Amino acid sequence: MPAFAVDGLAGSPLEQVLPGESAAPNPGAGSGGGGGGLGALSPGAGTGVGGKIGLNSETFATTSTEVHFVVESSKRTYWRTAAYGTYTGSGWTRSTETSPVDGRISHPGPDGERIDYEITLKKRASAVPTAYRPALVSGIENPLVSDNGAVQAGSSLSPGTTIEGVSFAPRNDVDRLRSTSESYPDAIEDRFTQLPEDTPDRIAERTESVFEQADADDPYEKARAVQEYLRSNKEYDLSVSERSNSIADTFIFEMDAGYCEYFATSMAVMLRSQGIPARYVVGYTSGQRVGENTYEVRGMNAHAWVEVYFESVGWVRFDPTPGNERLQRQQEALENVDGEFDIEDPGSPGEAFSPGGQGSDADEQTGLETSLNRTAVPGTAVELTVTYNDAAVPGVEVLFNGESVGITDRNGTVVGTVPDAEELTVQIREGTDATPDALETAIFDSEGNGTDQLYESPEGNATVLGGSSSAAGSLGSAPTTATTVSSNQVGRPSLSQSEEPTDTHPIDRTASIVTSGEPAPGGELLLTARIGDVVIDGATVRVDGQRVGRTNESGQLVIELPDRTGDVTVTVERDPISGERTITIPELTLSVETGPLGPNPFGAATVTARLDGEPAAGVPVTVAGEQVAVTDANGTAEVSLPFSPTATISVRTNGQTISTTLTGLLYVPAGVGLGLLALLGLVGYVLGRRGIGPQAIGQLFRGVLAKGIGGLQNGFVALVTDGDRYVVVAVRRIRSGLRTVGGVFTGTTSLSQLRREIGGIVDRIWRVVRSDAGSDHSSGEQLTVREAWNRFLDSVSADSTTTSTPGELADHAVEEDGLPEQPVAELRDTFREVEYGSRSPSDRLERVQQAIEQIEQTEGRES
């Protein structure tokens, strides 16, 4: 809080000292937020104490120097991420119920000092670190708040996310806490004094003994007594890992040392055993100061502490872990990294800790301070509180920029309107209904009459009737030496201040614009204008320069966006306040990819939808007007195409529909059909050349059908008994056939060769069918040697039968095609003798016919 610029009043206030001390290196400091378990940046619904489960050792028992977030804050404080209300014996659980943050977050008890901060995450997080008690957060979408006052994100927050917040610390001055009673709301008492039924009685007995020894008779003294008992009787040690089903009992009675989880759990359980509401809290200590009001909060700052409930105050932090020792560990770790160390931590009320130092006494003074309950905005009312050493200062007059706004009440508060100025200057002077302490022993005699009795001022001067001098006066309960005591001739006293205490607070004129909803062309958004935690009502709103209305008393207005994509400028203005924001309406794009054959009814298409280049998940995809799919997390979906000349594919989201039409879907089927017709025509041509008429063709197809059905069984048996050879032959013939067809396009195969290959296949099928029907291949006529040789060539898979010798073809037929060696040799030798030796074939025609029939029968079985 700002300090006053008056001698005797000025001075830097101490760091916040709620229950929880200034920490030292890493007592329960751990790597929170990274990895599994709770993690201080990602707290779960439950946590164990000790061992390697939940938040424990991997979160709070390390000296990791990895930075988890960087914070700029008006005050050094702890950063809270979750609170646990149910003690299980081995650990803690919490309610996971949350509610949306809608405006200011409320908390029980009056507000204390205001804390403004900006946090930049360096690690992924699900919880938002906040100073307790958070009143306002911005910078994240759809924030949530738990019933324990912890702020969570609606979705995981990425590194680099920046969050702004405003919190108001509880009024935790020691005098106020000492004056509270043990009368608690039923809901608070029932929930936060809960203990398992099997909790050992000796915990309550030991706690009663601690209270008696400390002569503690109010809630504050009792909480402080338990805190000091644990610090005095337990060492700070990060290496322990004990677990049990009653971990508080184990730590109190059986362990000599532990870290923050053990200390915090034990303190909460001890207080609960005596009916004092307490809860277990996790988060981070203040971190290392690296610049003016700037702190790096590291893994080793992850921490656990206790919050104790005080009547009429609310929840107040207490940190029973030995803070100086913890900071000492952190200092050693940081010195190993960069050799620099600048850290201290606030602790429990009235404490501050530094490495190797001693915690400051609870009675340490913070001086005269002022705080506002909300952001100072011109024309708005604010509540200002005046405190001295965290205690309220009633009965003093407060001026805003020279204009009196009133007298502080018994809580030290006064309400005034913020002027239109660059900053708010607060002046404090003695109220008209107050009597200076400095006059109590001077000016009047015992009967109330004027007297010339001397009054010794601090400067050693005398004040007499009709005179004046400087004296030690007071502003309410705040002493000051900048006071002049005067009296008239009859002894009537008066007091004046030669210097009035002043303080300044910034006045903010720049409004922020928050919207709810997804920007879409022609869509609507709910706009909220605010400055900090102050909503701006009656502000004129413009969209792309066109006036669309004024904000209501909640600072809100529903605006309609233009029917287009791209950037839209939204402004709000209420003199002297103004604000501007650019809203981007993302553009929906669609891309469709098909296979190498292009779009066709036999293939699929991959649809990709994007919004401003980012994958659009969950988007419906329609084909020909019918929804067939929804895009996945990558914005993609695979769809089948219809048997139609064209197909229109559409996606719709964010108020936009975009379509693309695929054409030529029937090109591939048409090409396949034409190819089949051409093939059938070629087959018909070959059959005609071989003299096979329509009747024979019918016989051929009937025979092929019958042969195919019967061949299924034979083929299965053949594969089982001699599968390797048949597979090799099949692969070889398929490869040869593909080479032949492909050769038509590459020029290595002529059309006449293709016709001959097809003719050979047809001949083989024809012969197999005819043989089963009892037909002779020659229809009663004997074959010539050349006819037999040509039929033999139909059975050979050699690439070229025209350039190879009969011997090479015969070797290929036996070795590659698996044809019988003896018939092939007979046919080869006879062909040579007839073609090259001019020998008459008449005496060998019968053997030639037998040879070719054996070859074709062998080939038919393989087929």
* Residues with pLDDT less than 50, the chain: 1-39, 52-59, 61, 358-365, 432-467, 469-473, 475-478, 481-483, 488-492, 773-781
DSSP 223: H
The CA–CA distances, whole Å, from 198 to 16, 88, 90, 249, 704 equal 38, 10, 12, 11, 86
DSSP 45: S
Q: Is the peptide bond before 576 cis (omega within 30 degrees of 0)?
A: yes
CATH class of 509-585: mainly beta
Q: What would the pLDDT profile of 257-277 be if each residue is shown by its tens digit?
A: 999 999 999 999 999 999 999
* Rounded-to-integer distance, Cα 714 and Cα 860, Å: 12
Q: Which of 429-440 are b and which e, b meaning 16 or more Cβ less than 10 Å from the residue's Cβ? A: bbbeebebbbbe
* Rounded-to-integer distance, Cα 461 and Cα 484, Å: 12
**254 three-state secondary structure:** helix
Nearest to 133 by CA among 153, 115, 154: 115
The pair phi, psi for residue 496, each rounded to 5°, is: -140, 155
Q: Which of 688-722 are b and which e, b meaning 16 or more Cβ less than 10 Å from the residue's Cβ? A: eeeebeeeebebbeebeeebeeebeeeeeeeeeee
* Rounded-to-integer distance, Cα 369 and Cα 386, Å: 6
Q: Count Cβ atoms within 10 A of the Cβ of residue 271 and give its class: 0-12 exposed, 13-18 middle, 19 or more buried.
A: buried
| pLDDT of amino acid 532 | 80
Q: Is the Cβ–Cβ distance between 398 and 405 less than 8 Å?
A: yes
Helical pair 201-214 and 247-254, crossing angle rounded to 10 deg: 50
Domain with CATH 2.60.40.10 in the chain: 588-665
* Rounded-to-integer distance, Cα 420 and Cα 301, Å: 42
Fold of 588-665: Immunoglobulin-like (2.60.40)
Domain with CATH 2.60.40.1930 in the chain: 509-585
* Rounded-to-integer distance, Cα 678 and Cα 630, Å: 42
Q: Which CATH architecture has domain 46-66+76-97+170-353?
A: Roll (3.10)
Q: Is the peptide bond before 832 cis (omega within 30 degrees of 0)?
A: no
Residue with tokens 């030496």: 481
**244 three-state secondary structure:** coil
* Rounded-to-integer distance, Cα 553 and Cα 642, Å: 56
Residues 63/65/71/73 CA torsion (nearest 10 deg) = 50
| The dihedral sign for the CA sequence 674, 680, 686, 691 | negative
* Rounded-to-integer distance, Cα 764 and Cα 819, Å: 14
pTM here? 0.48
* Rounded-to-integer distance, Cα 174 and Cα 219, Å: 11
Q: Which of 557-593 are b and which e, b meaning 16 or more Cβ less than 10 Å from the residue's Cβ? A: bebebeeebeebebbbbbeebbbebebebbbbbbebe
Residues 6+ apart with CB under 8 A from 615: 608, 609, 631, 633, 634, 635, 636
| The token pair that represents 327 in the structure block | 């900071």
Q: How many CB atoms lie within 10 A of CB 843?
A: 8
| pLDDT of amino acid 451 | 38
* Rounded-to-integer distance, Cα 737 and Cα 758, Å: 10
Nearest to 860 by CA among 740, 776, 764, 757: 764
| pLDDT of amino acid 559 | 95
Q: How many CB atoms lie within 10 A of CB 680?
A: 10
Q: Which residues pair with 712 in a beta bridge?
A: none
Q: Is the Cβ–Cβ distance between 654 and 614 less than 8 Å?
A: no
Residues 6+ apart with CB under 8 A from 558: 524, 525, 526, 527
